[in-house]
Amino acid sequence: MLKDKISKSVIILSFSIFIFFVILNADNAFAKKLKVMTTSTDLKSITEYIGGDKVEVESIAKGYANPHHVDPKPSFMVKLGKADLFIRIGLDLELWAQLLIDGARNPRIRFGTPGHVITAVGVDLQGMAVHGEAMIDRSLGDVHIYGNPHFWLDPLNGKIMAQNILEGLKTNSPENARYFENNKRLFDSEIDTRLAKWLKRIKPYSGTKVIAYHRSWPNFSKRFGINVVDYVEPKPGIAPSPAHIAALIKRMKSEDIRVLIREPCYETKIPKFISTKTGASVLTLPVSVEGVSEVKDYFELFDYIIENLVSTFEKQEIASHD
């Protein structure tokens, strides 16, 4: 009889322990994920890497779109209203973001709160900013007074951006801090490994002159040694005049510039015209993740840019420095 009671007690205890762990695992499986909204697909990609399965991330801007101009749709405001975290580039790239924040009426993501993360903090900025009492008007084009905001096109800036994202995730989900930190270490290691390969691949063409449509490339050109000497836009956001196009064609011919870089969000007519007059290749390069279908994450962005630059230089028989 005593033996039967002991056996029954052991069975009950074992079953209770089993139920406890089932409930515990169920809680973990359905644990609330941080809802994160980002302004760009690049930030989405980095956040997904650092946040892993602890986050749900959505980008407002598309990778192929112009990040300077985003329509502040009510649907974005609804999503931001439910967000725990809002991650943005910063500087003055996303002037449209404040309209969305105001429309969302979500105190968690307002500027200055733990749920508002600006990834520009601490990055290396290129491009001349406006200083002192300089007057700014539309004649200057889409001037960025704090420096060029396309800084994510330097992968070492990507590591700094990831650190800012890490801090935001840790603040809003401290119980997952170690998980996030480990993912950040893996991210940094992957950047370092791939950067060595990217630099080796592009090094033979260091100093090669190219034309770009928009001023998206100062951080990229500094890191990888490509020399962007002029632009289709005479000033950021300003359409070129016939005189500017003629001068550009003349320069490309005289300096033997054989590659024109175009971002996916810009028109094709003028670059194609310039190509017919100079023989230069028009190379469409994404500046963000998902800018073309082949680029699905932040690492693939640089894979694609580097490989397509090199293949275009080879096609144009531009002399390498091997």
**Tokens standing for 221?**
């050109």
Is 288 within 8 Å of 40 (Cβ atoms)? Answer: yes
Domains in the chain, CATH or no CATH each = 34-196 (3.40.50.1980), 198-315 (3.40.50.1980)
10-residue averages of pLDDT along the chain (322 residues): 50 49 44 93 98 98 91 94 97 90 96 96 79 44 67 98 98 98 98 98 97 96 97 92 98 98 96 98 98 97 98 95 71
CA-based torsion, 71, 75, 78, 83: positive or negative = negative
Q: Which residues contact 191 (CB under 8 A, 6 or more apart)?
A: 155, 156, 158, 159, 299
Q: What is the pLDDT of residue 9?
A: 52
Q: What is the pLDDT of residue 92?
A: 80
Q: What is the pLDDT of residue 145?
A: 57
Is 259 within 8 Å of 280 (Cβ atoms)? Answer: yes
CA distance linking residue 276 with residue 308, whole number of Å? 20
Q: Which residues contact 288 (CB under 8 A, 6 or more apart)?
A: 40, 41, 42, 61, 63, 64, 67, 152, 301
DSSP letter string over 67-90? TT-----HHHHHHHHT-SEEEE--
Q: Which residue is it, tokens 């405001």?
A: 77
Is 149 within 8 Å of 126 (Cβ atoms)? Answer: no
CA distance linking residue 279 with residue 258, whole number of Å? 7
Q: Which residues contact 206 (CB under 8 A, 6 or more apart)?
A: 224, 225, 226, 321
